[in-house]
Amino acid sequence: MATDATSTGFTGAEQPPSWRLTQVLGVQVAVSANVFAAALELKQRGGGQIVTLNAEMTMAARANPELGAAIAQADLVIPDGAGVVWALGRQGYKVRRSPGIELARALLEYAACHGWKVALVGSSPEVMQTLRQRLSSEIPGLNLVLTIHGYQAPELWPGLEAELRGARPDLVLVALGVPRQETWIQRLHQGQPGLWMGVGGSFDVWSGLKQRAPQWMGRLQIEWLYRLLQEPSRWRRMLALPAFAWEVLRRG
């Protein structure tokens, strides 16, 4: 007898996901042909947390148990960063680098075309104000249900978080920096239907405050150098990059 989805109670969420799971230095990463399709699949499966993993974050996850746990429990960890792509290549996985900023933008455009409710959290009050205006004019139809800048007084956060959850957005982009954005999302997204994604400095770029590295630097895989020149104070954090490479090589 033929069975259908209704009679078996089958939903897509019970099928294994279309991406393969592997690890880089013990941190989970999804290998998928198309990260945008994977994100939409996750939304259909009931939503969840998306992490964009680079070498610096991989090392931070190993040193910071709270960040490590948030990434371990995330629903989709995509390889953002030449270092992670290189490490996957050594395991025989040929994947394209998937910059989080590009996936986030593609999701905003999809959201605008499909009536998704969108919330933005993080960045300075000035950046958030410019961002709201820019996104509304650059992406017609975008339904921004809530925007919360990232420098609120501590006593305001619980109320804002309740408001955000109450809005049940389909897409929540969070620019609070690593590791805070990942641990904050992990705490808040449970039981929510949307995609919740940490986007680091993306709001600063979209608002025009900061620039992305030119494409030729991306091709040479030295975007980190551009970032260091823009923000020299990051030099200490960037020592994680050679440490990452060394650890990958040491493990063979």
Interaction site with ligand UDP (CB under 6 A): 122-124, 150-151, 175-178, 200-201, 203-204
Shortest distance, position 215 Cβ to ligand UDP, whole Å: 20
Shortest distance, position 100 Cβ to ligand UDP, whole Å: 9
- How far apart (Å, rounded) are the C-alpha atoms in residues 105 and 227? 20
Q: Which amino acid is at 244?
A: F
The Cβ of residue 79 has, within 10 Å, a number of other Cβ atoms equal to 27
Q: Using alpha carbons, select from 68, 71, 188, 72 the residue that is nearest to residue 122.
A: 188
Shortest distance, position 176 Cβ to ligand UDP, whole Å: 5
Closest to ligand UDP by CB, 21 vs 63, is: 63
Closest to ligand UDP by CB, 141 vs 159, is: 159
Element (H, E) at 242: helix 240-250
Shortest distance, position 32 Cβ to ligand UDP, whole Å: 22
- How far apart (Å, rounded) are the C-alpha atoms in residues 55 and 61? 10
Closest to ligand UDP by CB, 10 vs 157, is: 157
Strand positions, DSSP E, the chain: 20-24, 27-31, 48-53, 76-79, 117-122, 143-148, 171-175, 195-198
Shortest distance, position 88 Cβ to ligand UDP, whole Å: 21
**Cis check: omega of the bond before 99, within 30 degrees of 0:** no
Name the residue whose CB lies closest to ligand UDP. Answer: 150
The Cβ of residue 213 has, within 10 Å, a number of other Cβ atoms equal to 16
